Amino acid sequence: MNTVLENLKRYQDLLLRIRQLERELTTYPESVERRGRELKQHQIAVARAEEQLAENSGQKDRKEEYLILCKDNLEKFEQDLMEVTNQKEYSAVLKEIDNTKREIQGTEAVIITLMESIKQLETDYEQLNASSEQLENAYNEAVAGFEDTNREKIKEKEKLEKEKRRLEKSIPASHMRKFNQIAAKRSGIAVSNVSEECCTACNMKIRPQMMNNMQKNPDKLFICDNCQRILVFIEPDGDDS
């Protein structure tokens, strides 16, 4: 039958493993994180392409509206040219016609450039969308694999927590208070085994008198003079012969 201190050491081991499992259950492994980053970056690229496509399409629509206006003005100016009564008016209207024709030519060139850009953006957008599905599937598969692993870890955690509650009932309240005080200061490591008359946590040699007392009082708390942890001396198993 285990001593109180051996149970306390086991209790510490359970706590540490449970905390490790909690970290693992709430933190994706690098392989999943990497796929998640790739998917997120790709989604940003898709959103940017979609935004650029919408912006260029809007510019083209506005230029086409402006082109219609310019052509209407040209038609008006050409009609005005037929109605002028003197050379000064004729020259002024002719200048407006020339300016409008240049504006039409420039606007048509911009529209052609925008149409070419839109065509390329549409191709890029379709390709990005096609690879989005692949990346999303890869990420979902990675997450599903992680969750499958988690199911085993969840079961292990539940089992350890059940054993932890059982052990708590076997450990005196005074021992538990001391354990919690030390664990809070020592990163959860409040109990240390004694091996070859040394504290395994700090390698400090245990005083002979303390070693004798520990062997005589297996359920009493003994504190390492150096690291201030609770010492647990486990008797060797029988005779090796």
Residue 235, pLDDT > 80, answer: no
pLDDT at 38: 92
In the three-class reduction of DSSP (H, G, I as helix; E, B as strand; rest coil), residue 210 is classed as helix
pTM of the model: 0.55
Q: Looking at residue 237, what is its pLDDT? A: 56
Adjacency order of strands within the sheet including 230-232: 198-199, 191-195, 230-232
Instruction: Please check whether residue 77 is in contact with residue 96, taking contact to mean a CB–CB distance below 8 angstroms.
Output: yes
Looking at residue 238, its pLDDT comes to 47
pLDDT tens, residue by residue, 67-93: 999 999 999 999 988 888 899 999 999
pLDDT digits (tens, 9 = 90+) for 173-196: 999 999 999 999 999 999 999 999
Q: What is the pLDDT of residues 117-171, one digit of tens each?
A: 999 999 999 999 889 989 999 999 988 888 888 888 889 999 999 999 999 999 9
Burial of 14 (0-12, 13-18, 19+ CB in 10 A): buried
What is the overall mean pLDDT for the chain?
A: 91
Domains and CATH numbers, the chain: 27-169 (1.10.287), 173-232 (no CATH)
